Amino acid sequence: MTGRAEPSLWARLLGGFPPHGVPFLAADPGPDAAGQRHLALVLAYAGEGFLGWQVQPRGRSIQGELEAALTRLCDHPLRLHASGRTDAGVHALGQVASFATSSTLSLERLTRGLRSLLPPGIHPRALGPVPPEFHARYSAQAKTYDYWLWPRAEAGIFLRARLWPLPMALDPQAMAAALARLPGPRDLAALASQGAEVNGSTVREILEARLDVTPEGPWRVRITATGFLRHVVRNLVGLLVRVGRGQLSPEGMLAAIAAGRELRGGSKAPPQGLYLSRVYYQPWPGPAPD
């Protein structure tokens, strides 16, 4: 389907974040029998300047910055578990991370401390107690990724950190027709990059696939699924752009995905247009109005 993307990308960048589905407890129950408090963070971050979510031997990562700040605040080393890893240059509006701590600092002081210690590119949206069995990754039931691109962006040099500027026109009807065929169980092996870590099946349930078009503005490709493999959304958007340019038919795109082999030909979209928008910890309720 196609439609007008609201709220706009600009509203998102100003803090008009999508809702989150983290099952925070109404009150902090304090430490468990082992002396641990179980907490979760909802995060927004700008991916440029970081090597992605995961701690790396060299260079800055989102996880590394957060763990360093929390270790200082909580006065002991700790490990964050994210809903999923984002790559270098990829952004998040609603990343979720869970952790355990023996610190007795109040949630308010932890939040203030994080906002003081973290670099400007990382924003803690919410911090709260969760049930002991909650795990940011393994408790997740679905995720939504948004990819923003801007056709006919002749001078895209000012946009490259936040979306994919394209100098050419694209056919939104062809792109929407290709996306409309995606929902359902799909083997994503062909869209995953070589070397992607996969435990078990590569089949995921695509719950939503749509294109939102803003006249004379950025377009949004929204994909919601029960799970993703590495680079799936970026490879998919790369194929969609080929469809929009008339280089590939919607049927040809589906055939390429169904072939089950890694796609070749440099069709991967750049990372800066990709945003982890929302993680669901209850069954997906259906398309969101945003």
**Residue 17 included in any domain:** yes
**Interval 125-150 mean pLDDT:** 97
**Residue 136 included in any domain:** no
**Interval 120-135 mean pLDDT:** 97
| Residue 23 three-state SS | coil
User: Do residues 123 and 170 share a domain?
Assistant: no
**Interval 197-202 mean pLDDT:** 74
Nearest CA among 96, 103, 116, 120 for reference residue 46: 120
pLDDT score of 290 more than 70: no
45-69 pLDDT, tens digit each: 999 999 999 998 889 999 999 999 9
Nearest CA among 71, 62, 66, 136 for reference residue 103: 71
From 105, 129, 153, give the residue that closes a domain. Answer: 129
265 or 226, greater pLDDT: 226
Mean pLDDT of all residues in the chain? Answer: 91
User: Do residues 269 and 217 share a domain?
Assistant: yes
Q: What percent of the chain has pLDDT over 90?
A: 78
Q: Which two tokens stand for residue 157?
A: 């040099």
pLDDT score of 141 more than 50: yes
What is the DSSP-derived secondary structure letter of residue 218? -
What was the pLDDT predicted at 129?
98
Assess contact for 211 and 1: CB atoms under 8 A. Answer: yes
What is the DSSP-derived secondary structure letter of residue 86? P
Residue 27: Cβ-neighbour burial (10 angstroms; 0-12, 13-18, 19+): exposed
What was the pLDDT predicted at 263?
59
User: Do residues 102 and 192 share a domain?
Assistant: no
The DSSP H or E segment spanning 123 is strand 122-129
User: Do residues 146 and 268 share a domain?
Assistant: yes
| Residue 179 three-state SS | helix
Q: What is the pTM of this model?
A: 0.94
Q: What percent of the chain has pLDDT over 70?
A: 92
Model confidence band, residue 194 (pLDDT cutoffs 50, 70, 90): low
- What are the beta bridge partners of residue 222? 146, 210
User: Do residues 67 and 149 share a domain?
Assistant: no
User: Do residues 95 and 148 share a domain?
Assistant: no
**Residue 9 included in any domain:** yes
CA 151 to chain centre: 22
User: Do residues 201 and 82 share a domain?
Assistant: no
pLDDT score of 210 more than 80: yes
**Residue 35 included in any domain:** yes
| Residue 133 three-state SS | coil
Model confidence band, residue 259 (pLDDT cutoffs 50, 70, 90): confident
3-23 pLDDT, tens digit each: 554 457 888 888 899 999 999
User: Do residues 154 and 274 share a domain?
Assistant: yes
**Residue 137 included in any domain:** no
User: Do residues 214 and 119 share a domain?
Assistant: no
What was the pLDDT predicted at 261?
61
From 69, 94, 129, give the residue that closes a domain. Answer: 129
* Rounded-to-integer distance, Cα 43 and Cα 21, Å: 12
User: Do residues 217 and 250 share a domain?
Assistant: yes
H-only helix segments in the chain: 9-13, 62-74, 107-117, 172-180, 232-244, 250-258
Peptide bond into 119 cis (omega under 30): no
User: Do residues 117 and 163 share a domain?
Assistant: no
**Interval 201-227 mean pLDDT:** 94
What was the pLDDT predicted at 248?
93
Q: Return the residue matching tokens 């996880």.
A: 63
pLDDT score of 272 more than 90: yes
**Interval 174-182 mean pLDDT:** 96
H-only helix segments in 29-127: 62-74, 107-117
Peptide bond into 7 cis (omega under 30): yes
Model confidence band, residue 211 (pLDDT cutoffs 50, 70, 90): very high
Cα separations in angstroms, 287 against 143, 217, 290: 12, 22, 9
Domain that holds residue 234: 142-280
- What is the DSSP pairing of strand 91-101 with strand 81-82? antiparallel
From 99, 129, 159, give the residue that closes a domain. Answer: 129
Domain count, the chain: 2
pLDDT score of 2 more than 80: no
pLDDT score of 270 more than 70: yes
First to last CA, the chain: 14
User: Do residues 147 and 269 share a domain?
Assistant: yes
Q: Which two tokens stand for residue 39?
A: 């907490």
Active site residues: 87
pLDDT score of 199 more than 80: no
CATH number of the domain that residue 157 is part of: 3.30.70.660
194 or 10, greater pLDDT: 10
